[in-house]
Amino acid sequence: MIQGLSHMTFITADLDRMEQVFTHIFDAKKIYDSGDETFSLSEERFFLIGDIWIAIMKGDPLTDKTYNHIAFKIDDADFEDYLNRIHELGLELREGRARVQGEGQSIYFYDDDNHMFELHTGTLEERLERYKKTV
């Protein structure tokens, strides 16, 4: 039986740059750095974002940008702050999709390895409630 999410791993060409993205934008706390040792496939670092375990490993970046992404929940009041953090690191913003009022706001952006992230202000419950109104 699945008990929940264990961790997520992202492959990156530059561990330091990816660490900067995680610590500056997501307030991630670094909890492990393999240094030159490799217990897995390559050098790796572990972070906590909230209580989510995120791993980054050195490797070849994604060749294409897609809509595959991970979304983190933020408060409406923090929307502009997070947008500024993304701008400060010079990351590429992706235009958001069309939305109906009441499903929350999103910021989509790519890191230097073509991973897409979303910062979203809504919840699943709010979205489902809003979608019921249009049916």
Reply yes or no on whether 44 is catalytic: yes
Determine the Cα–Cα distance for residues 63 and 50; give it in Å rounded to an integer: 29
The predicted structure's pLDDT at residue 59: 94
User: Which tens digits make up the pLDDT trace of 32-48?
Assistant: 998 877 777 788 999 99
Domain that holds residue 55: 1-60
User: Which tens digits make up the pLDDT trace of 67-123?
Assistant: 999 999 999 999 999 999 999 999 999 987 666 666 678 999 999 999 999 999 987
- Judge if 37 and 87 occupy the same domain: no
Determine the Cα–Cα distance for residues 90 and 107; give it in Å rounded to an integer: 14
Write out the two tokens for 15. 């561990």
- Judge if 52 and 91 occupy the same domain: no
- Judge if 16 and 38 occupy the same domain: yes
Q: Which of 44, 92, 103, 129 is catalytic?
A: 44
Output the pTM of the full model: 0.84
- Judge if 66 and 53 occupy the same domain: no
